[in-house]
Structure 1
Amino acid sequence: MSRTARLFQLMQALRSGSSPKTSVQLAQDLGVSPRTVHRDIDALRGLGAVIDGEAGFGFTLIEDATLPPLGFTDDELEALVLGLREVQSIGDPGLVEAASAVLHKLQGRLPQRQSHRLSHAVLAATRLNRPPQPTINVADLRQATWDERAIEFAYTDAKGDNTRRRVSPLSIVYMDRASVLLSWCHLRQDFRVFRLDRMGEMSVTDESFRPNRIPMLRKALARIRADREAAEGESAS
């Protein structure tokens, strides 16, 4: 591995995961010796990266000189942190990890004052009762939705009845009590919502419904709004 590639990987390692990171941890990640990590840390500092820490205490990337500073107002930064904390509270495992990575990357790109503000944000999002964990690989489901490919899966409804469904996935909605898939059900020939924690044995098919996901999603959301307004009208009368 060239020194340039190694320095790039070291920066990536410092941007991701929890901080501080010891030279031993970084050496294991990069497959080099702790002494090499110390030399590379000095090299990165010489290039302008602000890296706090020293041998024996671990290292934290404070400011990344290889990336331009991001421009946020203080309220925008608070909103951003709150949103990412919310993802950490209700998202599937892949999104929880991604939200943590984004926070660490922001830490290295923000000016020092706002980097400190990010670390000590006054807003937080906590769920005492988190949604049930999905029983499928949600990353595969997200990719199938982006690719506009039909999926098949086993499903257990609220009554405990088991069925096999084939649907066109339109959107994943992270709600308070459960995360759900909004889709077009091929069996019912209608829009249906499925809880991710009741789905199992999912497979992605070769059937494409591109480029119809966005128009179908608009219709599904319009249906949901109309049903909600109708229900509110009945309760008010």
Structure 2
Amino acid sequence: MARMDRLMRLMDTLRRLPQPVTAARLSEETGVSLRQLYRDIATLRAGGALIDGAAGVGYTLTEDPVLPPQSFSRLEIEALMLAQSGLDQIGDETLKKAGRNAMARIIATLPDRQARQAMHTVMRSWRQPDKRPPVTVDLDLLREACWEEFSLVITYRDLQERTTTREIWPMGLSYSETSLLLLAHCRLRQDYRHFHVSRIASLAPGTESFRPNRVGLLRDYIQQRGYDRNRSPRRGEVG
């Protein structure tokens, strides 16, 4: 786990758990050794975090009173909670957890009245379950390839049930209630394609890097297709 991700997870855990929280509980929740945990506590304190307590006693995080609290209108709070509720409906487990952690971080910085509003929002999203085919490949690797701009080799079964192995440049994921689509530049077809992630049988890191070409590729795609976020891909764009 990257150092910054580890420190952010520790801060999130300190905000989320009843305090004081023991080092053993923090170690269990964050998945690091006690020795590493003590180092991370020291690093956060050196960076300005107000963490009281010690090993064997428990730790308490005090939000810095010098910093102004986050402030949102009631409607803005509703919008944030609705977005989180929608993510819980369509996201995979990694995204759901990230969304919940982000929301907990936001709520922890709200004044008491607004924090209570966040726990008593009116709007919720809902969808019928089991409308989207299951995904069997590693979505964390897929997202990493999009962010880090390296190619993937995939085994793919298209809508005509033909199976091919090809190298692609993954550019972005599109979530909906019925499908999860991957926009990529297919090196086999030398064109842009939308792949149903549920139809990818396997994926592995490829040999090519398309950094820093992603922005240019997306611009070309938008110009070629005539971008409309509400339309579905045309038949020739899929697979």
Counterpart for residue 206 of structure 1: 207
Any conservation in 2 of the 1:23–1:37 contact (CA below 8 Å)?
Answer: no
In the other structure, the counterpart of 1:110 is 110
Q: 1:77 to 1:211 in 2, by over 3 A?
A: same
Q: Does 1:98 align with 2:98?
A: yes
Please tell me the residue identity of whatever aligns with 2:25. Answer: Q
Q: Unaligned stretches of 5+ in structure 2?
A: 1-7, 29-33, 35-53, 235-239
The reply to whether residue 221 of structure 1 matches residue 239 of structure 2 is no
Amino acid at match of 2:84: L
Cα deviation for residue 188 of structure 1 reads: 0.9
Counterpart in 2 of 1:55? Answer: none
Q: Shift in Å at residue 40 of structure 1?
A: 3.0
Aligned partner of residue 168 in structure 2, secondary structure: strand
1:72 aligns with 2:69: no
Residue ranges of structure 1 left out of the alignment (5+ in a row)? 1-7, 50-63, 232-237
| Matched letter for residue 28 of structure 1 | R
More helix by share: 1
Aligned to 1:54: none
Residues 1:169 and 1:88: Cα distance change in structure 2 (over 3 Å):
same
Q: Find the counterpart in structure 2 of residue 140 from structure 1.
A: 141
Pairwise CA distance, 1:116: 0.9
Q: Does 2:37 align with 1:40?
A: no
Shift of 1:198: 1.1
1:148-167 mapped onto 2 (5 Å cutoff): 148-167=149-168
Residue 211 and residue 11 in structure 1: after superposition, are their counterparts in 2 closer, same or farther (change >3 A)?
A: closer
Q: Show CA shifts across 1:45-94 (max 9, x none).
A: xxxx4xxxxxxxxxxxxxx4476421222222211111122111111221
Matched, 1:128 2:128: yes
Distance of 1:190 and 1:224 partners within structure 2? 12
2:194 maps to which residue?
193
The root-mean-square deviation of aligned C-alpha atoms, in Å, is 3.2
* Superposition deviation, residue 181 in structure 1: 0.3
Alpha-carbon separation, structure 1, partners of 2:162 and 2:192: 19
Q: Tell whether 2:27 aligns with 1:30.
A: yes
**Equivalent-residue separation in structure 2 for 1:15 and 1:127 (angstroms):** 30
TM-score in terms of structure 2 length: 0.70
Post-superposition offset of 1:14: 3.6
What is the distance in 1 between the residues matched to 2:128 and 2:19?
A: 30
Q: Deviations over 1:84-125 (max 9, x none)?
A: 221111112210111111122222111111111111111111
**Secondary structure in structure 2 of the residue aligned to 1:192:** strand
TM-score relative to the length of structure 1: 0.71
Q: What secondary structure does 1:153 align onto? A: strand
Structure 1 CA distance for aligned equivalents of residues 95 and 107 of structure 2: 18
Identity of aligned residues (%): 31
Offset at 1:15? 2.8
**1:39, CA displacement in angstroms?**
4.2
Q: Which residue of 1 aligns with 2:5?
A: none
What is the identity, as a one-letter code, of the residue corresponding to 1:30? S
Q: Is the 8 A contact 2:136 2:198 kept in 1?
A: yes
